[in-house]
Chain A
């Protein structure tokens, strides 16, 4: 996607928002420029701190998910025996909407940061696990055979075949689950916390009725999601250049 077309799309959305604000003409939909002004002021204060808190939680969850799901997915993907044992378990757990586990996890882990990280981690973990496993299992046997014929044993196969083959799967899984992760982050931050964009939006919207601030929070959350999405996209271009070579 070209930068200029993204900019044009953002401007178009801004114009639509402005038109809607004129049409509605009530405090519950402030015009975009006012929200941007409040955002600019708040982001160097409370909103900025909440943004960093939310960002920290998502990034920690992502890191934890990659570190655990990738080795597990690779192990399952290259060992049909292991996969036979675990795939029914994954089959049952994968489609469970992890967001319904929020109350359970809060009960067990309390209202700590850890609870919020664990919730997002669960979502990402299964996405990455399944994609990496299928990618590793789907490698053509001829490819593995020919690399083995070059002398590669198990360790070299991991290093030169399974690991690079799973990179796109890892990044695709991350990109696909960022939307869900940020949505669940919002839900998780509604519960007993003093920091985070979810809390910020809820506080200003439902408690203080400060709508421009609430919208500034929504804007920050959208930017968080977008930023992560672009970040992973950029990483994919850097780490997987062959996917973009034409």
Chain B
């Protein structure tokens, strides 16, 4: 699904973040990208999303070289990225409206897939994520958890096959975070999504990443990764294997520094 081949990326100030970095993700896998701040994990996600372009090497997704955002890739950010002037309903409909704006041109929207049922699709996701009571509210009026639900609904309404999330739950309180982590696991399984979740928390990586990519000292030259077979089930959080998985990730994280 994802293939980074000899990827090199420098910040505008010349700092090398990735150098000849190669990494592969198979279709349907759930990855977490773990690292402390400044390790390049958000940069990696922006490269995958086509919002930044590599200095050398290439990013391929589903066989296609990425030069710009790919229509079937969904992106969810920590600060939700909602339009403050649009209601929850209009925010959820936004991606579909953008697709309608361009038509199924294969560049901004998947080719041969005209958006015909915008209202119905929007309504389905409003219902699915329990947003009906606040559908007419503006982002400034609702809680962080509700905003992130709105962002998730907006992304999933476009029926992506790859979901990228950048610290999606970092700004939320613990119960809301667990709630949304569980929702993510459920939706991921149900929609057969390939997911890459960037996080700085070991516990979150251990819960959500069946594979964990650990980034560390710059520049990142090889993909240090850990298999984490217990992940992907909310019950893992309370199983005896969970602390052990966290401890192993902590060791890897320290070794990468």
Contact = CB atoms under 8 A, between A and B. Distances in A.
A242 B71 CA distance: 29
B138 A245 contact: yes
A66 B158 CA distance: 35
Contacts of A165: 85
B140 A146 contact: no
A89 interface: no
Interface residues of B, number: 39
A148 B154 CA distance: 13
B84 interface: yes
Contacts of B97: 160
A147 interface: yes
A13 to B, nearest CB: 36
B33 interface: no
Contacts, number: 84
Nearest to B80: A146
A155 B86 CA distance: 18
Nearest to B75: A149
Given A156-B101, A156-B108, A242-B140, A151 B71 contact: yes
B215 to A, nearest CB: 20
A94 B102 CA distance: 38
A240 B101 contact: no
Contacts of B101: 152, 155-156, 159-160
A149 B186 CA distance: 23
A143 interface: yes
A147 B141 contact: no
B244 interface: no
Contact of B85 (A148, A156, A242): A242
Interface string B144-159: 0000000100110010
Given A142-B79, A151-B71, A151-B102, A245 B141 contact: yes
Given A147-B98, A151-B71, A240 B85 contact: yes
Interface of B: 46, 49-51, 69, 71, 73-87, 94-95, 97-99, 101-102, 107-109, 137-138, 140-141, 151, 154-155, 158
